[in-house]
Structures are given as structure tokens and as C-alpha cells.
Amino acid sequence: MVPRGVSESASNGRFGRRRADVDCIPTLPPSPFGSANMQQPPRVFLASTSPRRRKILENYCPVVFRTQNATPEEHPRSGNPDEVRRVVLANARQKCLDACQEIEKSGQWTEGVIVGADTLKTDGHRTYEKPRSMEEAVNFIKALAKPHQAITGVCLLNLATRQERCFTSVTTITLRPLDDAQIGALFAHMNPLDKAGAYNIDEGAEAVANVEGSRTGAQGLPLEQFEVELPLVC
């Protein structure tokens, strides 16, 4: 059941006191641009409409524009972590390819790096994507009160050379056991319907008991690996 005070109208983003997703980004590492390794930042195209990925990336390097992938995303056949890694990488790469076609069609740019990413959560048995209803979101929060993984696949594609770099990030998270009233309070300021597993580790910080691994990776773009991989396609 949906806890008292939580309405299906959340699917339209009407949460009253809900903070903007983009305000919930952790402190970011210094940008490498301007360092000896990278004097000029590349032109970056974000193949995603995720506000969390946008905010992470815009704090790190200039972003030209965001684009939505046209190809339907692939879904895992199971919650096996290897299968989930395969799917998030495939989805991230397809987002880059869709964006590449869109950029080329526009005729505005011939150089730059396209960034595609996809995130899913798994407990090893089943996969937790974005919930389809508030009731399913409640069930997700209760089911994930145990160690589980947020797996993010990232693809970087050089628009001019077509060189690619693809990688994954795995963060192990445990949620606190919450009752219906606590879940209702959580959803009063966090929209669960646009988040894999119905939560985000920063916006829903009060529900998180433990995080092991990249926090930005759990949010959709692992900056630690991104910083290493980006120069390799520029």
C-alpha cells in the first residue's frame, strides 16, 4: 500500500516541499582542466536528461547541450550483476550513438565528446529500475533495506574520431529499515518515480545506512573514473 500522505500525483512531480534534484549533488573534486594534463576542456555533449548527471558534469566541465536517446532502453533478463553491467553499458553506448546522429544532423558541431550513462540497482536476484507507481516505489524502499548495488555504465564517444571508452562503476548501498510513515516523509521531499530503485543517495540521505564506493557513481556519473577516461578520448 502507498503510505498515508503519499499520492500518485507524485508522478507529475508535485511534491510541495520537494527540493530540486540538482541541489542534491555532493562536493565535487577539482576539475583537471587548466592543469598540466589538460589545458583546454573539450566540448561535451550529455546524452541524458537526468538533472543529477547534468549538475555533476556542469560542475566539472562545460556542457554544450543535453539530448534524449531515441532508442528504447534494454532491460536486464535477471538481477545478476554481470547481466546488469552488460545492459547499462549497452544502454550508455546506444545513448551516445543516438546523440551522435542528432548532433551530426544539426550540422552545428564536428568535434567534442559525447557522454552517455545508465544506472540500475540490483540485489543480485532482481533489478530495480524506476518504479512504475508509488506503491511499487514503497515496495522498492522496503526491499532494499539490505546491501545492494548501484551499477552505472558510462560511454564516452569522440564525435570526430569515433574513438570510444566504456566503463562501469559499482557502489554497494544499504538502506535503513523504514516503516510506512517514514517512507511517506521521505517521499514528501523526494520524487521516487524518476530514480532507479526509487531513491537517490543524497536526496534520500536519511534513508541510507551505508555507502561503499563512488557516491557520484551511485548518482549516475562516477567522476573518479570519468576524470581518468575522458583524456583518453580527447
Q: Which of 8-22, 136-150, 220-234 has the lowest mean pLDDT?
A: 8-22
Q: Catalytic site residue 118? A: yes
Q: What percent of the chain has pLDDT over 70?
A: 80
Which one has a higher pLDDT value, 6 or 75? Answer: 75
pLDDT confidence of residue 68: 63
Marked catalytic residue, from 98, 118, 194, 202:
118
Q: What is the pLDDT of residues 168-221, one digit of tens each?
A: 999 999 999 999 999 999 999 999 999 999 999 988 999 999 999 999 999 999
Q: What is the 3-state secondary structure (H, E, C) of 77-137?
A: CCCCHHHHHHHHHHHHHHHHHHHHHHHHHHCCCCCCEEEEEEEEEECCCCEECCCCCHHHH
Whether pLDDT at 28 is above 70: no
Q: What is the pLDDT of residues 105-123, one digit of tens each?
A: 888 888 999 999 999 999 9
- The structure's pTM equals 0.81
Q: What is the CATH number of domain 33-233?
A: 3.90.950.10
